[in-house]
Amino acid sequence: MRGAAPDESHRSEPRSSRSPKRLESLPAADVARAVSRRLRAWYRHHGRDLPWRHIRDPYQILVSELMLQQTQVSRVLEFYDSFVERFPTLHDVARARPGQVREAWQGLGYYARATNLHRLARVVTRDGGDARLPADPAALRKLPGIGAYTAGAVASFAYERRAALVDTNVARVLARIFDPARERRTAGDLRALWRIAEAILPRRGDVAWTHNQALIELGATVCTARVRRCEICPASPWCARLAADRAATTREARAGRGRRVRRKGGSPRGFRGIRRST
């Protein structure tokens, strides 16, 4: 699946509001394994060929993640290569003036991302050394401009750590598959979706890399905010939202038949011409 998709600007940290507490259940272990296996198999055949999926350089992964926040993949592809060519390392970003970094970012918008990247580079390179980003999500979150999702993404995609990640698209996918009521994405919903993300994460970091990429890809190209392409979704056999929609359709159809029967003054069986055998 290549090219633009409705929700491919998938990297935004999901927003939330307060809501009453509700009972929470996590996916059964066998269901979690089955969903993850199906997602990974689907991704290997249908995942888009994107440059940052071929590298493990933490800095370049971070640049891709920051660029993808609130920005279409097709747009990022126009700027990613030129930016990392101009600033190949965090040292290069740190040595540059803030205006030079923003200039290279020109056209992507949301320039606070460029400002945060420059601030982060100065922090990481301040004490010399190899200026390498930490691999631990908790340590990454202490750096300027890095939230929970971005920390998980860098840890997973650069270091192949077993790290969960939940952005707007992943939150939607997890909610629809496992707990449709969580699609409201209140503060409690988001905490529950992070726990679901942890619960279904494969144990091995390299396998979790593919799993996380598959969740992102599914939310960007198949299970989008505007369109649900359930007929080609690899998770459809386990999808609670799809099952609920099908059940509602069945109830509506039965109710419609009942209304037609009542208007004709008969029973459903009589209307169909079916008799009980005696």
Long-range contacts at 42-50 (CB < 8 A, ≥ 24 apart): 42/214, 42/218, 42/234, 43/210, 43/213, 43/214, 43/217, 43/218, 44/210, 46/1, 46/217, 46/221, 47/1, 47/213, 47/214, 47/217, 48/1, 48/2, 48/3, 48/73, 48/217, 48/221, 49/2, 50/77
Q: Tell me, what's the pLDDT at 250?
A: 84
Mean pLDDT of all residues in 3-31: 63
Residues with catalytic roles: 65
Q: Tell me, what's the pLDDT at 14?
A: 66
The yes-or-no verdict on residue 165 having pLDDT over 70 is yes
Q: Tell me, what's the pLDDT at 21?
A: 53
The yes-or-no verdict on residue 147 having pLDDT over 80 is yes
The yes-or-no verdict on residue 127 having pLDDT over 80 is no
Asked: is 29-235 a CATH 1.10.1200.10 domain? The reply is no
Mean pLDDT of all residues in 96-124: 96
List the single range of 8-12, 164-168, 174-178, 213-217 with lowest mean pLDDT. Answer: 8-12
131 against 219, higher pLDDT: 219
Domain boundaries, given as residue ranges, for the chain: 29-235, 239-272
Tens digits of per-residue pLDDT, 30-82?
Answer: 999 999 999 999 999 999 999 999 999 999 999 999 999 999 999 999 999 99
Residue 200 tokens read as 């279904």
Say if CB 37 and CB 237 are below 8 A apart.
no
